[in-house]
Amino acid sequence: MKLSVEQIHSLIRDVPDFPKPGILFKDITPVLSDAAAFASLADHLAERIPAGTTKLASIESRGFLLGAAVAMRRGLGLVLIRKPGKLPYSTFSHSYDLEYGRDTLQIHVDALSNEDRVCIVDDVLATGGTAAAAEVLCTETGATVTGSVFLLELGFLNGRQKLKSSADALIRL
């Protein structure tokens, strides 16, 4: 049986002050450990992938779990966007500002080509810095970004304003 988005939402656990004080962490592990909920989540996300998308790109590390499940459902290849030093071949890097400090993400230089139309998949859209960096990296490979799809968007952080392509989320808070 396919669970509704509301039923999936009810399984997401709020963990206050993780990983640091003031952050309300959205813990998706109860969704992943429930077979029906995980399969339903993948189905809902797969329905939101824009038409014409040729590949998915997902962001370390919870994004990998969702990206892989959606890629299987849509018959699409999956490209990994990772923290520095994790990808073995030549990479493009992009650094971006966090609330405190900076972070960097990388993609393999040949992960995508200029014929690819790629959609970014991740669990949470918060301030948008991570997804915006993923957009930059995908574009650097020559690909066109068709959009990004999230399980959950923290709308009050206005993350989608940082994105050049259209963002979609199953749940908007």
Task: Quote the CA–CA distance of 49 and 118 in Å, as a whole number.
Answer: 10
β-strands 91-97, 102-108 pairing: antiparallel
3-state secondary structure of 61: coil
Residues 13, 48, 73, 99: which is the catalytic one? 99
Helix, strand or coil, per DSSP, at residue 52:
coil
**62 is annotated as an active-site residue:** yes
Longest CA pairwise span in the chain (Å): 44
Query: Would you state the torsion angle of the CA atoms of residues 49, 54, 57, 62, taken in this order, to the nearest 10 degrees?
Result: 50
Among 3, 11, 12, 26, which residue sits at the site for ligand AMP (rule: CB under 6 A)?
26
Q: Which of 62, 135, 153, 160 is catalytic?
A: 62
Closer of 49 and 131 to ligand AMP (Cβ): 131
Placement of tokens 């995508």 in the chain: 112
Q: Is 122 in the site for ligand AMP (CB under 6 A)?
A: yes
Q: What mask of x and - would describe binding to ligand AMP in positions 56 to 95, judged by CB under 6 A?
A: ---x--xx--------------------------------
Q: Which residues are annotated as catalytic?
A: 62, 99
Positions that interact with ligand AMP (CB under 6 A)? 23-26, 59, 62-63, 122-131, 159
